Structure formats: structure tokens, C-alpha cells
A = this chain, B = another copy of it.
Amino acid sequence: MKIGIIGSGVVAQTLGAKLIELGHDVVLGTRDPQKLDEKKNMTGTLREWLQQNQNKGKVVTFPQAAAHGELLINATAGGISVEALKIAGADNVGSKVLIDTANILDFSKGMPPRALASQDNCVAETIQTAFPNLKVVKCFNTIGAPVMVNPKAVGGGDHTIFVSGNDSVAKAQVSEILKSFGWTDILDLGDISSARGPEMYMAMWIRLWGATQTGMLNIKVVR
């Protein structure tokens, strides 16, 4: 499938590489695709990413990424996601399925970062409101990038991932991608307002990360 990822950081690179490995046609969108040699946080440069993926992926602009994808992924920081999608363009975004992976993290007051999601500040809902035709599915924001694409690396994969969104067909499509990554316990939380749960949970994840000293963790919903 043609997949357009809005963003080029660690989440974009990690999801992009896995999707390429699975045979998808993936592009990463970034503000300036000429800047291939800037060091990205926690990962290498985009030039290195292209090489590691045998140049099967491409690095393009936000509008080109949105136009390319039959399925879109928002992998920008939550605070700038709507701006990035506006640059991508409402016409290019259209009424496609968009997987929103974003969290709103404030690093300005030192570590640990402050997850700023609240009942009135939810990235997925904000995107859905700004682009009413888009089929937004919240997913992936509750785990670190390495776990997103390799659930078996934590406790053999016996833990839970969440989807929220208004469109059942879109959630089913995202669930198929999750299964192709190895996810077995996929919990549908409900409509897009239910994304407040996983977004506010990020504050808990940050404390779990601090307490366990590893990002290779996740929660299993025992019921």
C-alpha cells in the first residue's frame, strides 16, 4: 500500500522502515527534504535512513507525502501536528485514513518531560475537528518506537495496544497493520474522544519509564 508519513523523526523512521520491510511503498514528509544530513534525535540522519532501507523509501515534502499516501500517518510532535497537516494541504489529505501517533510533550521544564494532554487538549480530536473528512485513528502513542514495530521484544508480546476513532472500517484497517507487526491484543477504546485516555496515559508511561529505567515496556490490560 502507498503510505505517506507526515514527520521524519524516530517514530516516522521506525514505522517507515517496518512498513518498507513489509512491502509497502513509503515516503516520509519533512519541511525541507534537502536537509538529509541533519542529525535526528535518537536516530541517524535521513540519508542514513534511506541507505538502511536500500533507498526503497523516499523523503519528500509534507504535501507530497500526503498526496502519495492511500493511508497517512501523523508522526509529528503533537504541538505542531495540525500545522503540519495544514502545510500538507486539505486537498492532499482528503478523506483518507490517518493514524495519529502524536503526544504533546513539554521539555521546557527539564526531565521528565510533561505530557500536556487533558480533557480539553487531545491531539487526535484537534486533528479530527480541523479536518472533519479525515478518518483519524489514534494508535501507537502509548509505547516507544521500538515496541511499536516489535511487540514481541517486550514480554513475548503479551500486552495491549489501543485504537480510537469514529470510523470502524478505518480502525479495522489499522488493526490489520498492527497484526502484521505482531500485535495480538488490540483494544478498541471507542470514538475519537476516547483518544483522551491514551494521550493522558502518556504521563503515566513517562513515570513507568523513569521507575523501570527502560522504554522497552508496555501495559497489558488484564480483564
> How far, in angstroms, from A58 to B22 measured CA to CA in the complex?
64
Binds B, one of A9-17, A75-83, A212-220: A212-220
A52 at the interface (CB under 8 A from B): no
B-contact 0/1 string along A117-137, CB 8 Å cutoff: 111000000000000000000
Query: Interface centre among A117, A155, A158, A211, by most B CB within 10 Å?
Result: A211
Interface size class of A (residues with CB under 8 A): 35 or more
> How far, in angstroms, from A155 to B106 measured CA to CA in the complex?
36
When all copies of this chain in the complex are counted, the total is: 2
Q: Flag if A222 contacts B190 (CB, 8 Å).
A: no
Which of these, B155, B194, B198, contacts A210 with CB under 8 Å?
A: B194
**Chain B residue contacts of A188, Cβ below 8 A:** 211
B-contact 0/1 string along A159-195, CB 8 Å cutoff: 1000010000000000000000000000111100010
> How far, in angstroms, from A203 to B120 measured CA to CA in the complex?
12
Q: Flag if B222 contacts A217 (CB, 8 Å).
A: yes
Which of these, B115, B154, B201, contacts A222 with CB under 8 Å?
A: B154
Residues of A within 8 A of B (CB): 106, 114-119, 154-155, 158-159, 164, 187-190, 194, 196-198, 200-201, 203-208, 210-212, 214, 216-223
Top 6 closest pairs, chain A to chain B, by CB = A197-B207, A155-B222, A200-B203, A197-B204, A217-B223, A201-B204
